[in-house]
Amino acid sequence: MNWITETPSADCTQHTSVCTDVVERDVQAAVDACAEYAFTLLDENITDNAMYCLFIWDSEKNALTIVVTDETKKLDGKHRVTMGFSAFPAIDGEEPADTVKYWITDYLTTCPSFLAFSLLAGFVRAERDRVELM
């Protein structure tokens, strides 16, 4: 993955990439790579108030954003990781959000770089006030 890093402000660094794959296993690998990239930034991203690692699916943009945030879900950590998908494979009539949530949940169960931290994993489909715990 090629990541572009921008610093729009002193307290925010945006990391972005685009997945152009269309084959299901390749798109799943890209989702896993996005999560792993975000996890490499956890040391810098976690503050005393950190509670959640949110996986936010934007269905309009076909994009996954990963942030670490506090209990109010309003104060994000410094690093924000976003991967856009130029095409998302249709999988047995499932919504892309359901597919991405399943892939991430599966990935988290065996991911030592995430399990080393005491964060709650949550999936967001629209608004942050409706977090689905994973």
Query: For residue 53, is it within any domain?
Result: yes
55: containing domain = 4-126
How many Cβ atoms are within 10 Å of 15's Cβ, its own excluded? Answer: 21
pLDDT of residue 74: 87
pLDDT tens digits, one per residue of 12-51: 899 999 999 988 899 999 999 999 999 999 888 887 788 8
Distance CA 96, CA 102 (A): 10
CA dist 17 → 6, 31, 67 (Å): 12, 11, 15
Distance CA 112, CA 115 (A): 5
pLDDT of residue 104: 96
Order of strands, sheet of 12-19, starting from the edge strand that comes earlier in the sequence = 4-9, 12-19, 79-85, 63-70, 50-58, 120-124, 131-133
Report how many domains make up the chain.
Answer: 1
What residues in the chain have per-residue pLDDT under 70? none
Pair of tokens at residue 4: 């572009």
pTM beyond cutoff 0.85? yes
Query: For residue 134, is it within any domain?
Result: no
Query: For residue 78, is it within any domain?
Result: yes
pLDDT of residue 118: 83
